[in-house]
Structure 1
Amino acid sequence: MFRKKPNIKPLSPVRSSDRRKLLTSILSQFNIPTDTLPSERKDIIVPTDIQTAKFIAHSTGETGIIYVGEEGSKPLWLKLNDETLIPTVFTLWKCPFLLPIVQTWNPVIEKLRNGADLMLPGLIPPFPLTLKVGSIVAIASTERPSVPLAVGICNLDLGTITQVQGRHGKAILIIQCYGDELPFRGKVSVPLKLDLDIPKLEDKNAPTSDSENGDIEKKIAKSIENLDLPPDGNATSESQLTSVPAEKEATEGEIERTELQGMPVERVREGPTTEEVDEAFRMALLSTIHDSRTGTALEFPQATSTFISAHLRKHLPSSYSSAQLKQTSWKKAARFLKAMEKEGLVKVKERGGEVTIMGIAGLDNITVKDFRSFKTAGSRKANNDSKIPDTSHTDVPAGKLVIKEYYQIKDKGKAIAEAVSRRTSDYYSVAELRTILLEYIAKEKLVHEKNPREIMLNPVLASIITTSPKPRSLLREDLIVRFKEMSSPYYKIVREGEDERGEKLLRGTPPKIQILIAMKQGHKVTRITNLETYKVDVHGLANEMRTECASSTTVNKSVEGTSGSGQGKLEIQVQGPQSKTAVDLLERHGLKKIWIEVKDNTKKSK
Structure 2
Amino acid sequence: MFVKPFRVKSNTAIKGSDRRKLKADISAAFPSLSADELSELVPNKEELNVVKIYAHKGDAVTLYVLHKNPLFFELEKQLYPTVYVLWRHPDLLPAFKTWPPVLQKMIGGADLMLPGVVLPSSGLPDVNRGDCCAVTVVNNRAPLAVGTAALSSADMQSAGMKGRGVCVLHTYMDSLWAFGDKSGPPSIPDAESEGRELNGAECEVTEEEEEKAKSQVEEEPSPSETLTDQACSGVEELSLAVEEGEKGEKDSEEEEVQKDDQKMPQEIMDALLLQCFLHALKSKVKKAELPLLTSTFLRNHMFSCCPSGKQLDIKKSSYKKLSKFLQAMQQKHNLVRVKELTKGVESIVEVDWKNPELRSFSVPEESDGEAATVQDGGEGETPYHPPEITTLYSVPARLEPLFLDANKRKGAMLQPAEVRNIVTEYVKKNELVDENNKNFVTINPTLCDCLLEKSEYQEVESLKWDDLFSRTLGRMQECYEVVFPGLAPVRKKGRIEPIDISVASRGSNKKVTLIKNLEVYGLDPGVVATALQHRVQASSVLQPVPGSKDKVLVQIQGNQIHQAGNLLLDHYQIPRKYIQGLEKAPKGGKKK
Work out whether the TM-score is over 0.5: no
With normalisation by structure 2, the TM-score equals: 0.34
Larger relative contact order (CA 8 Å, sep ≥ 6): 2
